[in-house]
Amino acid sequence: MTAQVELALNTLEAQLNQPLETALEACARCGLCAEACHYYRAQPSVEHIPAFRAEQLRSVYRYERDFLSRLFPFWTGAKKLDEKTLLHLTEIAFSQCTLCRRCTINCPLGVDTPLLMRAVRAMTTAAGTAPEILVMLADAAIEKGADPSFFKELFLEQIREIEEQLRNITGDPNATIPVEKQGARVLYVPLAGVHTILPPAIVFNAAKEDWTLSIFEAANYGVFLGDVNRAKQVAKRIVDEANRLGVQEIVIAECGHAYASYRWDVPNWFPGQFHFKVRSMIEVLADYLREGRIQVDPNFITEPVTYHDSCNLARNSGLIEEPRFVLKHIVKDFREMTPNKAEALCCGGGGGLVALAEYTERRIQAGRPKAEQIQKTGARLVVAACENCRLQIGDLNERYGLNVHITALTDLVVRAMRLPKPLPGTEAEHLFEGQKEMVELDPPAH
């Protein structure tokens, strides 16, 4: 046994707990998961059936755990893990499964195949066969947490410039983007880049929220790697920051995996240190509208609009009605995709795939069912509350000629707030490029 294989098997062994063992033992091989999977819908072949993918790990598990399988592997379909199989498992876990969990909710036994794929991702990360770029991105995030001083000054300089934009857009000379504000009620955690800082800043200022901006980004590539150790180190930056500032709530930018991890995983990783409520920006928007804290034009968009449910937000976190509640306030012609909500099809961009150039073609192919869904709605605007989904739908738009605009929910709400001044600067223009045409059709009152 090579060191690589030994590391992989040790990682499998270390992860074994009741949920994982149940998923490894429980498949009835009924095949109902096939049609649930967007990979299978795009390309109906055996290797795209979730149960088949799971079986690749189960065969290794049987060999390791079952005496009879070790003696007579051909009887039970057991397989000894070797380097070739490890590479095959790597390929399956990182390029043929987005961890969307649609197979799980359609399985009569509730077998959590994505949990198995996460276990494989962890095994291959430990063995060094996981995609290098995901490891690099996770390590770069950890580096930022270890010593924020090397970027903080530049970051603050950028924030002051974004703040100027904020004041220009809102016409409010007192509008601010507080950073490291001690005792703020809300810590807002953006993604890297102005596009997830400026629109929420406009909303928080309009709602007169007591907030502060995190100096870190919400994305966690350790989660995509299935590597709990790396994922914990990335998350610790935010947990420490929230504790240091004494906030009551962490609000996560429109990002599926980041919200799901902070909502469900991170509190368990830091017992006794996680005293905060966690909300997504889309919940915040819904609450502000419900409480009358922000005002929007109900006739803002008359063009047909559809909403893409991010798997991590809708199916895996239950944020289903909140975005629809928000859209009802600003959209006249809302059209659902079919299926939708908890049964929504994955766009194909989850699980870190958008960052993996080597799998681009496979990702675009797997997104074809989503592209067809969008096309059938006749919508001109697709709203998605997840960065990876937006990037993927942008690629699908180009490949399949969907002729749609794609936007974040917060951006759309900000447009519907009918701000007193035009959007200045190249960055803001770029930010709202998706709605340009509609703004021309339906210009602001000012």
Binding site for other proteins (CB under 8 A): 132-133, 136-137, 139-144, 150-151, 154-155, 157-158, 161-162, 191-195, 217, 219, 355, 357, 387, 425-427, 430
Q: Least distance in Å: CB of 96 to other proteins?
A: 20
Q: Least distance in Å: CB of 51 to other proteins?
A: 32
DSSP state letters, 290-330: HTT-S---TTSEEEEEEEE--TTTTTTT---HHHHHHHHTT
Amino acid at 184: A
Say if CB 79 and CB 5 are below 8 A apart: no
Q: Least distance in Å: CB of 233 to other proteins?
A: 12
Residue 162 vs 301, nearer CB to other proteins: 162
Q: Least distance in Å: CB of 276 to other proteins?
A: 24
Residue 22 vs 158, nearer CB to other proteins: 158
Residue 139 vs 180, nearer CB to other proteins: 139
Distance CA 265, CA 285 (A): 24
Q: Least distance in Å: CB of 237 to other proteins?
A: 11
Residue 6 vs 358, nearer CB to other proteins: 358
Residue 348 vs 394, nearer CB to other proteins: 394
Nearest to 123 by CA among 17, 261, 226: 226
HSE of 53 in the Cβ direction (CA atoms, 13 Å)? 31
Residue 24 vs 141, nearer CB to other proteins: 141
Q: How far is CA 49 from CA 3, 22, 33, 85, 354, in A?
A: 31, 19, 7, 18, 22
Question: What residues are paired with 407 via a beta bridge?
Answer: 383
Q: Least distance in Å: CB of 140 to other proteins?
A: 4
Q: Least distance in Å: CB of 145 to other proteins?
A: 9
Q: Least distance in Å: CB of 414 to other proteins?
A: 17
Nearest to 349 by CA among 370, 368, 363: 363
Q: Least distance in Å: CB of 215 to other proteins?
A: 8
Distance of CA 295 to the CA centre of its chain: 28
Q: How far is CA 124 from CA 26, 89, 119, in A?
A: 23, 8, 9
Q: Least distance in Å: CB of 119 to other proteins?
A: 25
Q: Least distance in Å: CB of 34 to other proteins?
A: 32
Say if CB 212 and CB 178 are below 8 A apart: yes
Nearest to 438 by CA among 376, 380, 377: 380
Distance CA 84, CA 324 (A): 47
CB proximity list for 365: less than 8 A, separation 6 or greater: 42, 43
Residue 240 vs 372, nearer CB to other proteins: 240
Residue 158 vs 248, nearer CB to other proteins: 158
Distance CA 332, CA 354 (A): 32
Residue 29 vs 430, nearer CB to other proteins: 430
Q: Coil, strand or helix: which one is 189?
A: strand
Question: What residues are paired with 250 via a beta bridge?
Answer: 187, 278
Q: Least distance in Å: CB of 432 to other proteins?
A: 14
Residue 217 vs 322, nearer CB to other proteins: 217
Please, what is the angle between helix 409-416 and helix 281-290, to 10°?
A: 30
Say if CB 372 and CB 68 are below 8 A apart: no
Residue 48 vs 195, nearer CB to other proteins: 195
List helix spans (H) across 106-227. Answer: 113-127, 132-146, 149-170, 198-206, 221-225
Residue 193 vs 378, nearer CB to other proteins: 193
Distance CA 200, CA 255 (A): 13
